[in-house]
Structure formats: C-alpha cells, structure tokens
C-alpha cells in the first residue's frame, strides 16, 4: 500500500494520516465540528455465577491473572499513571506478558514516564507493537527515532476517556494499580504506602475493559471505602510486595520555582487576570503543579487574600498550596484530577470538600457537558506558539516527541485560556511561524503572557477593551517574536525530519489534528 | 610554529547558555572545526558560519577548534572564541565585536540609583533577562564574582554584552578589578558605551586619578566624547577616613558606595543584623557624598530569601540618607524600590508643601509659607523630589494636585 494515499489535509491545514495501525480515523474538522453518532461501546455481560460468592477474587500473581483473563497476541492492555514516575506495575505487567510468550500487544497507558524505560526491550522484542498514550523521556526518544513498530497515538485525558467510551479503543485487559483495595476489587488511592490521592484515570478502563485486574500492595478487608474503582467491575485482584516508590509518586512537598523570570511571568498573568475582571467572588480556575502555573496559583492566592475574594471551586492538580487555600476558605471546593503531594492526598482523604474527579466528569468531550468549559480561567504551558495562537505541547522545536497532552487540550475550553511562557528557552524562541506539531487550535487560546510582553488573541475584543489603558506591557505576537529572534541570533533553522510517521495527535473529539515524524539522527 | 593549545568556558550537563572552546594551533593540518551543540538542529549552521567568519577575520588558517555549546547566545560564543584566539596570540590586536543591539542613550549624571543588580561577569545566562526586572542599574561584575582564571574570558563576555544585550533602560555599570588589573578591563569596557564604572576597594584619591587618566587616554584614542561616570566603593577603614577626599577627587564621580564585608573584616569585626559596627562608616559615606552633592549607595543585603529583612534594611538605609542599595537577586529589586518609595504621609506632606510653593511662585512671593510657618528652600526641594518619586512609582497620578489627601 502506498503510504501517500492515506494522507489528508485536515481543518488545521495539516497533512495527517487517517489510517493508523490499520484502523480508520477521522481528520480534524474544526472545534465542535465532528458530531459523533451511534451508541457508546458496551462492556460484556457477566454473571455472578462465574465469581466466588465470598467476594474474594485474589489470584497469586500478575501472570496468573493475565492468563485467566485470556491474554492473546495482539490484545490491548491498559494501565494508569497515578503512580507517575514511581510506578512499578506497568513494568511488572509487561515482564509477565513477555514470559507468557505473547506478542504484538498494544499498550494503552494514560501516560508513561521515564521509569518505564525497561518497556523499550519489550518494544524491541515485539512483545509490544506500539504505545497509545503519552511517551515521555526514553520512550519518547525511542519513538522519535522511528524504532517503534506501530504508530503511537497521543490523546488528552478527556480524549482517552472518549476513545474508550466511543469504542475507538477496546481494552481487552485493564491493569489497575491501587494503593488500597479489598479482595472484591473495590479500590482507591487515598491510603497505603503508595497513596496517590485518586484513581480517576483508571475509571474508564474499569468500566469498559473486558477484564479488569487490580494490583495492590495494601489489601484491606471488604469494604474498601471510598470505592472510586468498583469491585463489581473487577475480575481479579493481585497482591504484590510493592506497587511503586512513594518518593516518586507524590513529593513530600511541592516547591515553588526559584527562577525570577518565571515568577515574573506568573505575576504578570495574575495581574492580567485581575485587570480582566476574571478574579472575582465565585470564580473558578484550573491550577497546575508545573513551575509557572504553581507560581500563578500562589500569587493568585495572595491577590484573593488582599482583595477578600473567594473562589467557588479550583480544579487541580492539588498541592499543599491548594489545600491550604481550601482550609483557609479561599475556595469552597477543590475538584481534583490528580494529587501532587502528600498534603493533597491527606486533604482528599479527610476533607469532603476536596472532591476526586475523573476524565469523565472533567474532560470527556463526548458527554453531556464537562467541567473544563465552566472554568473562568485556565493557565497552561506550551513548547511553541505560532502567530495565530496555535500551540504545541507534544514536541520540541527540534521535532522530538517529548511530552504528553494530559488535560491540556481539554482545558482549552475554559472561558479564558492563558499561556504564561518564557519568550525563549535557553536559545530557542517559543513563538514561531508554524508550530512543529499543532496540539491546540489558536481560536481557543486567548492570551500569551511572556516576560517581555502580553499578547491578547485579536478575537478576544472584550479582553482587549478591558485592558485598554492598562499599564501591563500589551504587545502583538509578531513584536514578541521579532524581539526573541533578535536576542537568540535569528530565526531558528528548520529541523530535518524523515518521512516516517511515528505518532498521531488526537483532538478531544477523536479526530486527528496532526502527526509527528521521525527525526534525523 | 610550535603547537599551542588553550581552552576556556564551561561545559557539562548543568551549564546553561554558555559554551566551552578549545583551540590548538600549529597543527599543520589546516582548519579543523568540531562543534557539539545542544541546539545543533536549530542553530547548527549559523554556529558553524560564525566560527568560519571569526577565523577568517583573524586570518587563522591552521588550527583545531572545538566548541561544546550549551545553548550559548551568539555574543557569548564570540567572546569565548576570541578569548582562546588571544590566548594563543593570534588576535593581532584586533577585536571581533558584535553589532550594537540598537540606539543606546547617553549616560545621565542625575538619575535614580535605588537598585543596582549585580551580574557575575562569567555568567552570561543571567544577563539576558536582567532588564525585565526593571532595576535602576545593572552591574556587570569583573571583580569578586569572577575567579582569576576566568577573568580574561569574562572581560570579553562583558564587553560583548554591552553591545549585544538590551538592559531595557537600566543604567549600564561595570565593576572593574582592583588596579592594576582594572586598567586592562577599562581598555575593553570604556569604548562600549558603558555609563558608569564601579571602582572597588578605593582608599585614596590617587587611585581615582590613575583610573581617570586611563579613561581619558582611551577616550582620546578612540575619539570618544561620551561621559563615563564613576562610583568608588569604599571597603576599608582608611577609605572611610578619606571618604570626602575621594568623593571630591573627580567631577565624574556621581555616587559613593560602601562595601561592608571587607570593611568589617578590616576593622576586625563581623556584620550583625543591628549594624552598630558599621554605623560610623555608613554615616561617613553619606556625609562625604552629600557634602559633594552626589548620591550615597549602601551595601547589598545577602539573605535573598528574606524579603522582610531586606525591606527593613532598605528603610533603615533610607533613614540614614542613602539613595540606593545593591541587589544580588532580581527578586530584591522591587522590595528595594518599595523601601525607597515615599510613604503615604510623606507624599501628603510633600503635596501640601509643593502646592504652597507653586502658589507662592504664581503670586511672585519670595517666601513659601504654610499658615504662619515659613518653609525653607531645602524642604521645598525635597518635597518636589518626593512628588516626582511618587509619580515615577505610580503612587500618585498626574492629577495629584486635585486629590483630596
């Protein structure tokens, strides 16, 4: 088959593949343009007669659980990433898959981390055909160099839920690591030595997979409460010595960036939000734990305190800073998608106003609404932005695939989306003519805040009007780009890329918004 | 020619926006260039072209040149390469200068010098964004923050930075080394539109004279008309005793600064939070400066994480009569400005006095009075300065006369 035949120019102006790993996909059609039809995927019907009345579903090993789940060549196995860079379970699962002599598996993690570097040997030996999920660090390098057999697919957190729900990805076996679980399979993330807060990323897996395996190092007698993962969806429970390294799952404390430039950018973003009239009683915002967005949250907290302003809810990414805002009464609720430090875990366990969420409630685009679009202000990162405000989060300017999408695309639906970005990283300008990979359309991105000026999307005439007369350094993206290039020694050269497509980037509705090509060595 | 080999700069995982260069000459094998760059995909061609251009400029046909680049900005790569070319003695007295980034305004004798941000001369990564934090001045430091083996290279980095880096309106200061090494610094710095030169460890007017003569010589040679102002730093007991003589030794001196670390060591004590040990010295500096009509500049506050302590120390410095304070971190700048800003009461008092002054002028009266009280001219002058400062700091707007305090 001639690969060239399968490319199609999508509504973002990108030539994308629509047949990926022999499956058909839709090209991106524009924001809100792709309206799905039909019914959601349905999980198999089961019978209690096939499960022990005692409710004890324990089996002795991951290998045994995989065998009993009917693992075959070419199946799809999913994992979640709440244990982040401390996760032991995905590596254990694929070692077991390899021992069983299985080949060509699709690994469908909600994200992968550098700790998953050992998976590379399973990609090389053919145990895993390809990964659909973010590929960070060594796995990103491996894929960027064209070494993966199949084409990777990257989805947002909401897009992953959508893909499972719509039947675009059928999970044969879901493996869910759980810091606390009972023999029936009820599980949560708030207790145990590997406590990670919540298990929301694994919700769809437990609802739609043919078989679901819970792996835990902390078995509790029935009932394990709260049951964010319900035992009624679980086939097997496996006890292991340890599911992860607590030090790398959540940090003891979250530290604020020391970079004076980043702090300045965060202050400018907060000042912008204040002057735009966004920060007022009853408002809501998305809080991140990355350098600049954490600083944004902290400075926003200071402004709220000074002006006696209270938020209705904060969506996080919870950290000690967020929980102290909740405890101080600066917000009524935290709606939490993942906890980043021990205080976040404690607060979620003990404070009923610190609510766990899932990609279903917060992000799924093929549902009857979600929380992301209700957010008054969202601050997000990006590796590049073009002059039309289109942004890239998955690749670097040199073409390397380095980051997952996370909730980034989903949060673009917030009412005002601010990207606080350094104008250049080391010597590499952030504002470019054309982003290497388009991950989010510019029509959803409202403001770019840099250390040398703030650019408002011309479509946001309301914000431009509100900020007229402000002392903030308002400038155009063209001006900022020119300044960065002058400092960095001219516009960067174009990276040389190979023809081979190594990954596809999905939009929140399952359409293909862009592709990533192999880099030259 | 015997082979010669030199290297300079920094390499390794943790280096940012800098580079390491090695040159070997007399190999008899023509030009061999090895570049390893973190940004080779995006700037590889322009880096190789720069190296070729430089070797052409210095007419070097036979050398091995190795560059290990950790995303250095072009002006840094240029300085590091020129430095090794000088080390092997192939520069023939020529300078490879980057273009000026744009128009650079003339130095101003009277300007605010509340904050001056120290930038170690060997750490160019800190230069690029120094201006965005809006210090009144930046100091490119060639003295204490640069180790002896890095001085030659740092001198060229600082020289190139004066041409390449936009400090966004901050006064462009360089702290040179103690004499005689400082004279070598002057040769590179004076022609590059430097606004002010800080002179460390000054304890006699003779040192000022040597510097002034050297500057005059460089200016004459380059036909440079531009002013170069001086700020002596007094850091010893002898210097304190001679503060007035020093301050009055040149019309180019616009401020007098104190450095307390060396001073306290010199008098055999240690710095304390209360600062009793330095009260005399600091008052001497203020008095010497004010006697000559120049600014008095206080030492740095070294606990970067303690912004409350910094603010208290600025308020204290202001109360002693100081006009400025050194900063060793960008986050200190705003606190320093806040500390030197007039308070609400101060602004209101100044407003009433200035209004009375303007009224008296309008009515052609020689004397300004408030009620039955006569206001002395220096008080009026200070009130005018306070209003100007408050306007600068956005504490009042252009309609301040109408405001009802």
* Total tally of structural domains belonging to chain B: 3
> Which chain A residues are within 8 Å of B330, Cβ to Cβ?
260-261, 264
Q: Do B64 and B123 fall into the same domain?
A: no
Ranges of each domain in chain A: 57-132+169-249, 260-497
**Residue A361 near residue A368 (C-beta atoms within 8 A):** no
> Which chain B residues are within 8 Å of A398, Cβ to Cβ?
39, 41-42
Across the interface, which of A399, A427, A519 has its CB nearest the CB of B43?
A427
Give the residues across from A78 on adjacent strands: A108, A174
- Asked whether residue B398 is assigned to any structural domain, the reply reads no
Contact B42 A471 (CB under 8 A): no
Q: Which segment of A377-381, B148-152, B368-372 scores lowest on mean pLDDT? A: B368-372
Q: Do B55 and B71 fall into the same domain?
A: yes
**Chain A interface with B: residues with Cβ < 8 Å:** 260-261, 263-264, 397-399, 426-428, 451-452, 471, 486-490, 492-493, 495-496, 519
Contact B132 A495 (CB under 8 A): no
Instruction: Identify the CATH number of the domain in which residue B32 sits.
Output: 3.30.230.10
Contact B16 A263 (CB under 8 A): no
What does the pLDDT read at residue A30?
97
Residue written as token pair 């009345």: A53
Closest-approach residue (CA) in chain A for B331: A260
pLDDT for residue B359 is more than 90: no
**Measured CA distances, A267 to A285, A294, B170, B193 (Å):** 16, 11, 21, 33
**Of B70, B87, B104, which marks where a domain is finished?**
B87
Q: Do B166 and B153 fall into the same domain?
A: yes
Region class of B103: left (phi > 0), else alpha (psi between -120 and 50), else beta? beta
By three-state DSSP, how is residue A192 classified? coil
The Cα of A427 is separated from the nearest Cα of chain B by a number of Å equal to: 5
Taking one residue from A and the other from B, the number of pairs with CB-CB distance under 8 angstroms is: 62
> Which chain B residues are within 8 Å of A495, Cβ to Cβ?
41-42
Mutation for B interface: A255, A425, A436, A489, most B CBs within 10 A: A489
**Residue A151 near residue A123 (C-beta atoms within 8 A):** no
Across the interface, which of B129, B166, B394 has its CB nearest the CB of A451?
B129
pLDDT for residue A443 is more than 80: yes
Mutation for B interface: A295, A401, A426, A490, most B CBs within 10 A: A426
Q: Do B276 and B359 fall into the same domain?
A: no
Superfamily of domain A260-497: Glutaconate Coenzyme A-transferase (3.40.1080.10)
Q: Are strands A105-109 and A236-239 parallel, antiparallel or unpaired?
A: unpaired
Q: Do B56 and B12 fall into the same domain?
A: yes
The Cα of B313 is separated from the nearest Cα of chain A by a number of Å equal to: 21
Question: B237-252 pLDDT, tens per residue?
Answer: 999 999 999 999 999 9
Mean predicted confidence (pLDDT) in B199-205: 97
Across the interface, which of A451, A488, A519 has its CB nearest the CB of B132?
A451
What does the pLDDT read at residue A4?
52
Per-chain mean pLDDT for chain B: 94
Residues 6+ apart with CB under 8 A from A304: A279, A310, A311, A325, A330
Q: Do B223 and B371 fall into the same domain?
A: no
Contact A471 B394 (CB under 8 A): yes
> Which chain B residues are within 8 Å of A488, Cβ to Cβ?
43, 73
The Cα of B172 is separated from the nearest Cα of chain A by a number of Å equal to: 18
Q: Do B166 and B243 fall into the same domain?
A: yes
Q: Do B188 and B40 fall into the same domain?
A: no
Structure tokens at A358: 């899932």
Across the interface, which of B16, B42, B331 has its CB nearest the CB of A398?
B42
What does the pLDDT read at residue B398?
82
Question: A188-213 pLDDT, tens per residue?
Answer: 999 999 999 999 999 999 999 999 99
Counting beta carbons within 10 angstroms of the beta carbon of residue B336, is it exposed (0 to 12), middle (13 to 18) or buried (19 or more)?
buried
Question: A278-301 pLDDT, tens per residue?
Answer: 999 999 999 877 778 899 999 999
> Which chain A residues are within 8 Å of B397, Cβ to Cβ?
none
Q: Which domain range does residue B13 map to?
A: 4-87
Looking at A126-195, list the stretches that DSSP marks H as alpha helix, in order from N- to C-terminal side: 137-144, 157-165
- Asked whether residue B93 is assigned to any structural domain, the reply reads no
> Which chain A residues are within 8 Å of B305, Cβ to Cβ?
none
The Cα of A358 is separated from the nearest Cα of chain B by a number of Å equal to: 38
For residues B239 and B383, the model is more confident at B239
Residue A187: name the closest of A147, A135, A227 by CA. Answer: A227
Contact A427 B71 (CB under 8 A): yes
Q: Do B198 and B230 fall into the same domain?
A: yes
Superfamily of domain A57-132+169-249: Glutaconate Coenzyme A-transferase (3.40.1080.10)
Q: Do B121 and B259 fall into the same domain?
A: yes
Q: Do B350 and B336 fall into the same domain?
A: no
pLDDT for residue A184 is more than 60: yes
pLDDT for residue A82 is more than 80: yes
Q: Do B292 and B254 fall into the same domain?
A: yes
Contact A264 B133 (CB under 8 A): yes
Across the interface, which of B17, B101, B331 has its CB nearest the CB of A260?
B331
Contact A428 B42 (CB under 8 A): yes
What does the pLDDT read at residue B404?
54
């Amino acid at each position: 088959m001639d690969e060239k035949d399968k490319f199609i120019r999508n509504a973002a102006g990108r030539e994308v593949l629509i047949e990926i790993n022999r499956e058909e996909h839709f090209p991106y059609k524009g924001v809100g343009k792709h309206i799905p039809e039909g019914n959601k995927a349905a999980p198999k019907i089961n019978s209690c007669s096939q499960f022990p009345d005692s409710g004890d579903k324990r089996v002795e090993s991951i290998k045994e659980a995989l065998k009993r789940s009917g693992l075959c060549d070419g199946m799809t196995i999913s994992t979640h990433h709440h244990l982040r860079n401390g996760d032991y379970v995905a590596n254990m699962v694929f070692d077991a898959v390899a021992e069983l002599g299985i080949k060509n598996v699709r690994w469908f993690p909600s994200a992968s981390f550098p700790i998953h570097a050992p998976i590379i040997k399973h990609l090389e030996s053919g145990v895993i055909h390809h990964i659909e999920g973010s590929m960070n660090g060594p796995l990103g390098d491996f894929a960027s160099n064209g070494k993966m057999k199949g084409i990777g697919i990257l989805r947002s957190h909401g897009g992953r839920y959508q893909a499972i729900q719509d039947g675009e990805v059928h999970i044969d076996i879901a493996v869910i690591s759980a810091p606390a679980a009972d023999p029936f399979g009820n599980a949560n993330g708030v207790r145990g030595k590997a406590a990670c807060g919540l298990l929301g990323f694994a919700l769809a897996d437990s609802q739609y997979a043919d078989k679901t395996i819970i792996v835990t190092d902390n078995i509790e007698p029935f009932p394990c409460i709260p049951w964010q993962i319900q035992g009624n969806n679980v086939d097997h429970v496996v006890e292991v010595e340890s599911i992860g390294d607590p030090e790398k799952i959540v940090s003891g404390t979250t530290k604020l960036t020391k970079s004076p430039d980043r702090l300045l950018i965060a202050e400018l973003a907060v000042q912008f939000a204040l002057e735009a009239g966004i920060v007022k009683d009853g408002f809501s915002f998305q809080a991140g734990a990355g350098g600049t967005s954490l600083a944004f949250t902290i400075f926003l907290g200071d402004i709220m305190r000074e002006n006696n302003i209270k938020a209705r809810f904060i969506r996080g990414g919870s950290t000690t800073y967020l929980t102290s805002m909740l405890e101080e009464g600066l917000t009524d609720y935290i709606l939490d998608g993942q906890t980043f430090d021990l205080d976040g875990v404690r607060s979620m366990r003990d404070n009923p106003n610190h609510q766990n969420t899932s990609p279903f409630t917060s992000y799924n685009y093929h549902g009857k609404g979600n929380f992301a679009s209700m957010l008054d202000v969202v601050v997000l990162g990006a590796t590049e932005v073009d002059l039309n405000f289109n942004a890239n989060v998955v690749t670097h300017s040199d073409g390397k695939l380095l980051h997952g999408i996370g909730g980034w695309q989903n949060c673009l639906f917030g009412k005002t989306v601010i990207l606080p970005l350094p104008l250049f990283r080391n010597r590499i300008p952030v504002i470019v003519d054309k982003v290497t990979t388009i991950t989010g359309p510019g029509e959803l991105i409202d403001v770019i805040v840099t250390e040398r000026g703030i650019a408002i999307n011309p479509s946001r005439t309301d914000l431009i009007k509100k900020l007229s007369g402000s002392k903030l350094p308002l400038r155009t993206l063209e001006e900022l780009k020119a300044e960065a290039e002058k400092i960095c020694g001219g516009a960067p050269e174009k990276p040389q890329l190979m023809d081979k497509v190594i990954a596809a980037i999905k939009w929140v509705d399952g359409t293909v918004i862009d592709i990533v090509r192999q880099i030259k060595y | 020619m015997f082979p010669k080999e030199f290297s300079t700069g920094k390499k390794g995982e943790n280096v940012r926006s800098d580079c390491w260069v090695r040159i070997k000459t007399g190999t008899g094998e023509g030009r061999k260039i090895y570049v390893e760059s973190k940004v080779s995909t995006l700037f590889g061609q322009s880096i190789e072209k720069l190296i070729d251009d430089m070797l052409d400029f210095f007419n070097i046909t036979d050398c091995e040149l190795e560059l290990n680049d950790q995303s250095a900005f072009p002006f840094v790569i240029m300085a590091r390469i020129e430095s090794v070319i000088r080390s092997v003695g192939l520069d023939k007295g020529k300078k490879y200068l980057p273009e000026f980034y744009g128009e650079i305004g003339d130095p101003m004798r009277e300007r605010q010098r509340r904050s001056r941000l120290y930038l170690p001369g060997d750490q160019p990564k800190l230069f690029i964004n120094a201006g965005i934090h809006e210090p009144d001045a930046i100091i490119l430091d060639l003295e204490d923050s640069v180790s002896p083996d890095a001085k030659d290279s740092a001198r060229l980095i600082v020289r190139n930075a004066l041409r390449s880096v936009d400090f966004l309106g901050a006064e462009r200061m360089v702290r040179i080394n103690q004499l005689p090494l400082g004279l070598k610094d002057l040769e590179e710095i004076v022609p590059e539109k430097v606004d002010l030169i800080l002179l460390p460890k000054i304890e006699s007017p003779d040192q000022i004279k040597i510097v002034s003569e050297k500057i005059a010589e460089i200016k004459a040679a380059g036909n440079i008309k531009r002013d170069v102002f001086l700020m002596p730093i007094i850091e010893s007991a002898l210097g304190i005793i001679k503060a007035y003589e020093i301050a009055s030794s040149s019309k180019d001196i616009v401020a007098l600064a104190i450095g307390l670390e060396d001073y306290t060591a010199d008098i055999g004590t240690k710095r304390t939070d209360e600062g009793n040990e330095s009260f005399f010295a600091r008052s001497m500096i203020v008095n010497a400066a004010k006697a000559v009509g120049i600014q008095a500049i206080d030492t740095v506050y070294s606990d970067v994480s303690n912004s409350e302590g910094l603010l208290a120390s600025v308020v204290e410095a202001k109360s002693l009569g100081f006009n400025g304070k050194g900063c060793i971190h960008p986050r200190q700048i705003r606190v320093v400005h806040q500390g030197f800003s007039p308070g609400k009461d101060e602004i209101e008092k100044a407003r009433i006095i200035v209004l009375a002054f303007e009224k008296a002028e309008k009515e052609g009266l020689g004397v300004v009075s408030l009620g039955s009280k006569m206001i002395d001219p220096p008080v009026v002058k200070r009130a005018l300065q306070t209003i100007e400062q408050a306007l600068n700091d956005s504490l009042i707007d252009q309609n301040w006369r109408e405001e009802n305090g």
